[in-house]
Amino acid sequence: MLNVHQIALGYNGTPLIQDLTFALNQGEVCAVIGHNGSGKSTLMRTLLGIQPPLVGKIEWQDVAHDGQPRNIAYLGQSADLDHQFPMRVKDAVAMGAWKGLGFWTGIDQTKADRIDYALTRTGLTDMANKPLYACSSGQMQRCFFARAIVQDSPILLLDEPFSTIDQTTQSRLVEIIKEWRQEGRGVMIVLHDLSAVMGIADTCLLLGDGRASFGQAEDIITIDNLIAHHYLSETQAEWLTLLQQKGVQNV
Amino acid sequence: MFEWLEYDFMQRALVATSVLSVSIAPVGAFLVLRRLSLAGEAMAHAIVPGIVIAFVIFGLSAVSMITGGLIAGILVALGTSMLARRTLIREDASLASLYLIALALGIFILSAAGSAIPLKSFLFGSALGIGDDTLILIGVTATITLLTFAVMLRPLIAATFDPIFYESQSHRPGLVQQWFMFVLVLNLLAAFKSLGTLMAVGLMILPATAARYWVSTITSYMFLTLIFAILSCWIGLILSFYLSQVPTGPAIVLVAGGFFFFSLFFAPLGIIWGRAVQK
C-alpha cells in the first residue's frame, strides 16, 4: 500500500530524519514511536501530502493525479481542537462523508447508514444529537474514530489517539483498530505507550537521533534500540533491566 | 413613531446596514470560530493607508479604494509573517506593530492631504450619508460573500474545526484560508463608509460572540449572528437619528455590545448557566 525508500524529512531544508525506509502493507498495523521532537508528527504531515519530503519520494499503491492516495483517513490529536465548536456529535462524524460531495449535494442513504453504523460501533448513538462540548475526552476521541470509520479508507493515519483517554476507552478503540486490520486496511499509529505498541502493532518504526529503525515490533522494541534512538536514557534502561532481573514483568 | 423612516437618508442607511449585516454576519461568525477576532480588528486598521492613498489620488472611487485597501492588507499580512519568521518578535507583536503604524500613517496622510472627509467620519463612519456607490459596493460584497458561503461552507467548517484533517482531504487547502481573508477585507471595506475604520469590525465580532452563548449548531449560530447584527444596525440607526450628536458607528456597535452583555448573563451557555450546561 505504501513504500517509503530513503527519504529525508525536515523543515526549511534542515533534515530531522534521514534515510527513512519502511513499508505499510494491507492488514498491517505499524506503530510509530520516538522521543518528543523526533519527527513523528512531521512524518504524518508528510504522508498526508501537507509537507513534501526533503529528499526521496513516497510510493502509494492507489494514487490520484497529484500523487497522493485517493482516500486516506487521518485522526489527529483531539487536544488541539476546539471542544466548544458549535456542532453536534453526529455532524462531526458526518464530516468523514464530505469528501467528493458537490457544493449542493446532501449525504446519500449509503453514507447516512455508514454514519449510523460508526456511531453504533463507537457507542455514541445516545450522544449523536448532543453538542460536542458535552463530550468527555474519551467520547471526543470515539467521535473521531467514528469519523474515520465513515471515511471508509484503506489507509488510516492515527496521531497519538490514546493520549487523552482512560484505559477502558483505549481498549474499546484498540478493538476497532484490530477490526480495521482484519478488514485489510493499513494503519499507521503514533504511540507513546510501549505496551500498546506490543499489543496491537505488527511492525514498528522507531524514530530518534535523526534516523529511523523499522522492522517487526518485537525486533525493534529492544532496550539497546530504544537507547540508541534516545527513546530511553541509559539510567532508565538500567532501571528497567534491574526490574526485569528481579522478575518484575510488564514494566 | 416611524417618522425616521420618512427620510430618504434613513431609508438608505436601513437598506445599506441590513444588507451589510447579511454579508458581515457569517464572516464574523467564522472569524470568531477561527480565533481570529483580534486579527480581524488589526486588519480593519491595516487597510486604512491603502484606502486613504487611493482616496487622495483617485477620489471616492470604490474600485480604487478596494484595491488600495487590499494591497495594504496584504502588505501588513506578509510583513507580519516575515517578521515573525525571521526576527525574534512573535506574530502578535509583529501584527500589532504593523497595524498601528498603518493606522497612524493613514490618519497622517488623510490629515496632511487636507481631505474633504472629516476625520470623525473616517474613524466612526456616517451611515446616514451613504451614496449610490457605497450601496453598490455593499450589494456586490454581500453577493460575493453569500456565494462564497454557499460554495465553501463545508470546507470552511472542516478547515476551521480540524485544519489538518481538512488539509488531508483537500487538494488545495490554502485556497479556503486565502479566499476567506479576501472576503474579510472586502467586508471591512464595505463596512468602512457606514461604520468607520474603528467600528467596522465591531459589527463583525460582537453579534458573533453574543450568539456563541446561545446555540450549539453551526447553522443556528450563523442565523442568530445575523439576527443580532441586523437588530444592532436598526436600533443603532434609530438611536443615532434621535441623538444627533452620536455618530452611527459607535451607536450600532454599542447596541451590539448590549446584545453581548445580555447574552453573557442570560443565555444558556453564558456566565451564569453555561458552566452547569457544559458539565
Question: Going edge to edge, which strands form the sheet with A203-208?
Answer: A72-75, A155-159, A186-190, A29-34, A203-208, A211-216
Within 8 A of B35 by CB-CB distance, chain A residues are 82
Residue B99 to residue B41: CA distance in whole angstroms: 9
The CATH number of whichever domain residue B138 belongs to comes to 1.10.3470.10
Segment B47-81, tens digit of pLDDT: 889 988 988 888 767 778 878 988 998 899 888 88
Residue ranges making up the domain that contains B106: 3-278
Q: For residue A45, what pLDDT band results from cuts at 50, 70 and 90?
A: confident
> Hey, which residues does A2 pair with through a beta bridge?
A24, A60
- In this structure, the number of other CB atoms found within 10 A of the CB of residue B8 comes to 7
Cβ burial, residue A248 (10 Å; 0-12/13-18/19+): exposed
Q: Which residues of B touch A (CB under 8 A)?
A: 33, 35, 150-151, 154, 157-158, 160-162, 164-165, 167-169, 171, 173, 212, 215-218, 220-221, 278
Cβ-based contacts of B173 with chain A (< 8 Å): 50
Is A148 in contact with A75 (CB distance < 8 Å)?
yes
Cα gap A189→B127, rounded to integer Å: 57
Closest CB to B33: pick one of A66, A85, A101: A85
Between the alpha carbon of residue A209 and those of residues A18, A205, B37, B47, the distances in Å are: 10, 13, 40, 47
pLDDT in the model for residue A166: 84
Question: Is B217–A66 a contact, with Cβ atoms under 8 angstroms apart?
Answer: no
Query: Residue B147 pLDDT more than 80?
Result: yes
C-alpha–C-alpha distance, residues B149 and A7, integer Å: 40
Which chain B residues have a beta carbon less than 8 Å from that of A131? Answer: 216-217
Residue pLDDT, tens place only, A157-192: 999 888 878 888 888 899 999 999 999 999 999 988
Alpha-carbon distance A85 to nearest alpha carbon in chain B (angstroms):
7
What residues are paired with A186 via a beta bridge?
Answer: A155
Q: What is the pTM of this model?
A: 0.84
Question: Taking a C-beta distance cutoff of 8 angstroms, is the pair A188, A47 a contact?
Answer: yes
Q: Is the pLDDT assigned to residue A250 strictly greater than 60?
A: no
Q: What is the pLDDT of residues A86-144, one digit of tens each?
A: 999 999 999 999 887 767 788 889 899 999 999 999 999 999 999 998 998 889 999 99
Across the interface, whether the CB atoms of A86 and B161 are under 8 A apart is answered no
Q: What is the predicted ipTM?
A: 0.82
Average pLDDT over residues A31-60: 86
Task: Name the residue among B94, B97, B100, B99 with its Cα closest to residue B81.
Answer: B94
Q: Which residues of A touch B212 (CB under 8 A)?
A: 86
> Which positions in chain B touch A82 (Cβ < 8 Å)?
33, 35, 161
| Of A49, A81, A133, Cβ closest to residue B161 | A81
Strand A186-190 and strand A2-11: the pairing is unpaired
Structural domains counted in chain B: 1
Does the pLDDT value for residue B161 go beyond 90? yes
Whether residue A1 contacts residue A61, with contact meaning beta carbons closer than 8 Å, is answered with yes
A76 vs B162: CB contact, 8 Å cut-off?
Answer: yes
Per-residue pLDDT of B236-267, as tens digits, reads: 999 988 887 888 888 999 999 999 999 999 99
Strands A29-34 and A186-190: parallel
pLDDT reading at B278 higher than 70: no
H or E element at residue A7: strand A2-11
Nearest-5° Cα angle at B169, B163 to B174? 55
Q: How confident is the model at residue A66 (pLDDT cuts 50, 70, 90)?
A: low
**How many angstroms away from the CA of A145 is the closest CA of chain B?**
13
Query: Tens digit of pLDDT for each residue in B185-236?
Result: 889 888 887 788 778 889 999 999 999 999 999 999 999 999 999 999 999 9
Question: Exposed, middle or buried, A205 (CB in 10 Å: 0-12/13-18/19+)?
Answer: buried
The strand pairing partners of A23, in sequence order, are A3
> Which residues from chain A sit within 8 angstroms of residue B218, using beta carbons?
86-87, 91
Q: Which three cell numbers stand for residue B45?
A: 486598521
